[in-house]
Structure 1
Amino acid sequence: MGRVTEIAGQIRWYWSSLMGDNHYQRYVTHRGRTHPGEPVMSEREYWRMRYRTAEVEPRCC
């Protein structure tokens, strides 16, 4: 059962990454590491900014 649980966890991680479920958490981690002490956007502000940017200028990545 251990191997099945491991594979299920990997699939869950992949699916979450694909759907963007962990993007905000990655943003918070990045801001804390590269800009300590500066304010961090709320999750709502983050998604608003992300979608607004995607509509205005297409990105390659």
Structure 2
Amino acid sequence: MTAVVGHLRGFVRFFRDVMGEDAYRKYQEHHAASGCSSPPLTEREFWRDKMDRQDANPGGRCC
């Protein structure tokens, strides 16, 4: 039973990574590691900036 739960958790983590749910966490880690002197964006600012950049440069999105 624990093996099934472990696999399910792994799948959920993978799905979240693919969907980009952890993008803000990764941004925070990168910001802290890069030694940037400016304060990090808030989560709301981060997602707004991300969506604005995607709208300006749609690339390979289907929609």
C-alpha distance in 1, partners of 2:37/2:8? Answer: 37
Please list every run of 5 or more consecutive structure 1 residues that lacks an aligned counterpart in the other structure: none
Deviation at 1:58, TM superposition (A): 3.4
Higher relative contact order (CA 8 A, sep 6+): 2
Code of the residue aligned with 1:53 in structure 2: it is R
Q: Give CA deviations for 1:1-46 in whole Å, capped at 9, x if unaligned.
A: 2211210111110111122211100110111111255310000000
Q: Secondary structure at the match of 1:18?
A: helix
TM-score, normalised via structure 2 length: 0.80
Counting aligned pairs with the same residue, the percent is: 23
Distance 1:33 1:39 in 2: 13
Once the two structures are overlaid, the 10-residue window that deviates more, 50-59 or 4-13, is 50-59
Q: Following superposition, which runs of at least 4 residues in structure 1 exceed 4 angstroms of deviation?
A: none
User: What is the aligned residue count?
Assistant: 60
Structure 2's unaligned 5+ residue stretches are: none
